[in-house]
Structures are given as structure tokens and as C-alpha cells.
Structure 1
């Protein structure tokens, strides 16, 4: 999929475009910086380009939320990130844009958890500052997480739902998440079936892939479970992690079906006894079949006799059955 990569060129030299790739679209006239002509204009343009690549230190309390919610919060992961930054410092800068409504403030494009961690540590945020419109912001946000493969399946599903609900078209959503239309349809199917509240209760569930989420959607449909009941299952039966909450909810929804399948698989066992009461064997009725089991130990050859005479036994049964019908 040919697409404009909004992240390219933020750090270091830009890489050459692959042969046949679509060149980056020029900014709209309303967003293009206005430079004077001649030498002054060239210098001004060079300074602007350097600024876009420079890393600034910003007070974390001057950075506000921007774009869409790309991550489902996990206190454990945030605590681990905070501890890592405390020990090693901030290794990767975040990307921000000037706040469109409040001068001297910024909006986060990506790196929200790093900003939260640095707030807790009382340290400035190393950030790249770039002028982006709303569309460029969400596309850059999605692309950055896709490149780093940081978003889980359900986070991608939740992000795609937010983009659609915000009015972005399918092409923009596919660009942001680097997915095709079929993949995007599956993401939206899961997000719409679960709803934002249930997704928030379960969490990111990094160990749960697409097929398991689709299985959960099917379990909700078959069981007819409403969202409030599903959230109660996830909260009450779940463990401390989002993976645990997912498994607890799926187990709760599929328990009746699993019990029914187990009963059908086990069948109804009837003990076969001799006139003296000794067990001869067992007859088990399963869906679509009846099985007679005779242990070799203690059979005394009865199993062989039964196999040799089964046809005659069946003929006698048919004669009796035909008499009853007549």
C-alpha cells in the first residue's frame, strides 16, 4: 500500500523513496510556511527545517492529550516504563505539535506514556515539535505504533473505531494502521461488537490475538450476554492482568456450551450386570452412537461369543420387532 509516511524525516536524513513509491504530497497552501524570496527566504526555510528535526526539552505539564486514544491504560506497564526512565533516562523522544487553541502549550502526537512517566519523575520531556493538522496527527499516531508493533489487536480495533467515529474514511484508517480493507473490517467488527466500555474493562490483552477476540465476539452472540453482564464477568472473575480478564470472560460465556459438550461426549453410561449382579460391561449412549464396552479381564470369553453371535441376536430382535408392529 503506497502511503505518505508522516514519520519519515523526523530524525536524521530522510531515506530515498522506493522505486515506484508515491512521493509525499506537498502541504496544502494554507499550511505551507510563507517565506520571503531570495537569501533571507532560503535561510528562514533552512531554520524551519532544522527546527522540525531538533529535539527540545518541554515541561511535561505543558503537554496535553491530542489525537485519539491509541493505548488502553495498564498501570503495571506504566510503572515499568517509569522505573526504566528513572534508571536510564528518556531514550526515545516523543512527538508533539503546537496546541491549536492555546499558545505556549502542546498536544501529544505519540509518546503519551513517556510524558506521564516524566511527569511523575518531575523531569522535562525530550520532544520533537512538528506542525500537523488533525488528519496528519492521527495518521502519524497510528503509523508510529504500527512501525514499532506496539499496539495489540484490540488497541488497533479500538483506534480504528475512534477514527471512523471521528469521520475519517476507510483509506485514512488503512494508512494510519497499515492494514488493508479486509483487516480493517475485522478490527471494526470486533470493536463494534464489544463496545468501548467492555474493551476498557478488559484492557490491552497483549497475549490475545485476532482469532481469540473473534471467538469472544461469537460467544457473546451465541450466549446473548448483554454488555453490563459481560463487564461484570470480566471484573469479578478476572485476574490482575488484561489477559486474565479476557480468559475469565471467555470461560464464563462458553461454560454452558462446554458443559453440554462434555455431557454429550461422556454420554449416558449403563452398567451391564449378570444374574448374580457382577458387572459384565458398560453401555454408553452418545449423540449418534451407542457403545458396549466389555473389559477383557474377567470376561471369560463372553466378548468373543458376543462378537460371533451378534448377527443372530440382531435377527432375533428384528423378528420380535416385526411381530410387535403387526
Structure 2
């Protein structure tokens, strides 16, 4: 009985010391611990039902590339989701989420009936804009007009140019140039043309200038309602609209090398390069910003890789 009493006394003393120590723990230490736990939770990847995810942020893609989306679906079906999307808790509907970036992956996973792997972070609207904008900056396949349109949407929402510059990691002069184009067209007009992946700022500025004339705008809009407009690729739609706006007839058009382009994707569905074909040849572009050194590695091994591919081509050609 005595031994039992001693054990009871020791346990009571130990509990008292623990409680006292907890009471004596500095508030700063508790706050730091809570902050660390929050960061761990935000960086943890969770599996979430795509049906619980709603749209948020701004429209950063002008139209859906059905071929690229189909490729992404097949990649996710074969290899699974390698790169998580970013979500935030829904401000008004507990238990639901809003997408910050990763919309194409979310759409593909919905089609496959698979859960979405996601990081969930507490973001206010300003932090959401910064996260979405910086994710866009790192993507190779976002065209000039998509970035310009994104800038215009931010300005319309009340964000100043300094914030827009920070969100897209560009300087203020470039913000001004993008806004000249992005604010010149409404979203419905841009959606009809699409992303126009090979059309840069100078040609968009030419369209802005041409469309200042109401007659030019009328000709362009009228052509966009014709049935032959829809089957065109996004780049071809731009070319046709610019030609009508400038009053150039089909016969008077100067011949320029026809170019076709498409984005090459890795096993995880992420873009790894752009392949363009024109009458002059084939060009492969591997962006340096988001390639994690693949561009430098490719440069170092380019000759060996091309020799292997050429030998394969010769072998297959001889079999035919």
C-alpha cells in the first residue's frame, strides 16, 4: 500500500510540474509553434473531391486547347497527378474550396473521376492574385494576349500597376504595354480569337491601332460571325481579323511563312517546350525559367540526341 501511495504522489507531482511548465512557456514560443504547424499543414498535399472545388481568381486562359487537354487527361490517366494544384478554403461555404491555379488539371481529374491532389492555403484576394500571377509567369504556354488580358482584369478589379507588375514579375513599362492591348478588347472578343500562341505584342498593337476605326471594327466583327471563322486555328483567327480590320483582301495579302505550333508536354502533363513548323523548318524552344536546367542539359546533349533521332529516322525510312 505504501508503494502505491508513493507512486500516486510522484504522478501528481509530475503532472503539476508539466502544467506549470506549460503555463511558464513564453507566448512567443507558442505562437512560433502554431505558425510552424500551420506552414506544415499548408505545404502538405491533400486529396480532395473535385466536386468540392469552385472557381476563383481571374480568367488566365482564352479558350481551351482541346488537343492539349486530351493529352493531359491521358497523361493523368497513365501516370497520375504529379504536380498538386493550389486551393484556398471557400470564404462563404465551409467544407468547399476555391481554385487558385491548376484549372486544367482540375478539369481533367473531374473527367477521370479522380481526387485532386492539392495544397490548401489561407489566402485573401490580394494573396490569391499574387499566387495566380506568379504561377502564370512561370508557365511557358501562356501567350502574350493571355497575360495582357490577365493584367487588364487585375486593373479592372482595382489593383494598382505596382501590384500587377509584382504579380507577373514584370516591370512597370511592360505593364503599360500589356494594358494598352489588354484593355482595348472585351473578354468575349478575346475568347473568340483564343490564345493566339505565336502572335506577339507588335501584331496585337497593330490590331489595336486598326480597330480604332469603327469601320474596321465592324468588318472584323462581321467576319467573326461567319461560319468559316470557327474552324480556323487561334493564330489563323487573329490573322483573318487583322486582315479585315486593315481592309486587306485575300488577294492583296502578303505571303508570309505559314507556321504551326504546339506545346510539348512531359509525363506529368507540364509543358516542357514549344515546337513550331514553318516553311523554313522546325524550331524547338525550351524555356529557361521553368525548365529546372533541362534547357542547359539539352544544349549540352543536343548533337547526340539529334544523331540518335536521325539514325532512328533512317532505320524506319529504310523499313518503309
Give TM-score, length-normalised by structure 2: 0.65
- Contact residue 71 and residue 155 of structure 1 kept, 8 A: yes
Q: Structure 1 residues 256, 41: CA separation in 2 closer, same or farther (over 3 Å shift)?
A: closer
Following superposition, the deviation at residue 39 of structure 1 comes to: 6.2
Does structure 1 residue 247 correspond to structure 2 residue 239?
yes
Structure 2 alignment gaps of length 5 or more = 1-24, 255-320
Match of 2:40 among 37, 41, 50: 50
Following superposition, the deviation at residue 197 of structure 1 comes to: 1.8
Following superposition, the deviation at residue 249 of structure 1 comes to: 1.1
Whole-angstrom CA distance in 1 between matches of 2:150 and 2:240: 24
Structure 1 alignment gaps of length 5 or more = 1-34, 263-326
Corresponding residue number in structure 1 for 2:275: none
Supply the RMSD in Å over aligned alpha carbons: 2.5
Deviations 1:71-120 (A, max 9, x none): 11214132222222122211211001111111111111100111111001
Larger Rg: 1
Following superposition, the deviation at residue 250 of structure 1 comes to: 1.6
Q: Structure 1 residues 64, 251: CA separation in 2 closer, same or farther (over 3 Å shift)?
A: same
Following superposition, the deviation at residue 223 of structure 1 comes to: 6.8
Does structure 1 residue 69 correspond to structure 2 residue 59?
yes
Does structure 1 residue 194 correspond to structure 2 residue 185?
yes
Corresponding residue number in structure 2 for 1:230: 220
- Contact residue 97 and residue 108 of structure 1 kept, 8 A: yes
Following superposition, the deviation at residue 245 of structure 1 comes to: 0.9
Following superposition, the deviation at residue 193 of structure 1 comes to: 2.0
Q: What SS is found at the alignment partner of 2:111?
A: helix
Deviations 1:18-48 (A, max 9, x none): xxxxxxxxxxxxxxxxx99376555433321
- Contact residue 42 and residue 121 of structure 2 kept, 8 A: yes
For residues 169-188 of structure 1, the aligned pairs below 5 Å read: 169-188=160-179
Whole-angstrom CA distance in 2 between matches of 1:72 and 1:65: 15
- Contact residue 235 and residue 245 of structure 1 kept, 8 A: no
Following superposition, the deviation at residue 230 of structure 1 comes to: 2.3
Query: Which structure ranks higher in relative contact order (CA pairs < 8 Å, sequence separation ≥ 6)?
Result: 2
Whole-angstrom CA distance in 1 between matches of 2:35 and 2:26: 9
Match of 2:212 among 208, 221, 236: 221
Corresponding residue number in structure 2 for 1:303: none
Give TM-score, length-normalised by structure 1: 0.64
Q: Structure 1 residues 39, 81: CA separation in 2 closer, same or farther (over 3 Å shift)?
A: same
Deviations 1:299-324 (A, max 9, x none): xxxxxxxxxxxxxxxxxxxxxxxxxx
Q: Structure 1 residues 241, 261: CA separation in 2 closer, same or farther (over 3 Å shift)?
A: closer
Whole-angstrom CA distance in 1 between matches of 2:253 and 2:136: 41
Whole-angstrom CA distance in 2 between matches of 1:160 and 1:36: 45
Q: Structure 1 residues 54, 249: CA separation in 2 closer, same or farther (over 3 Å shift)?
A: same
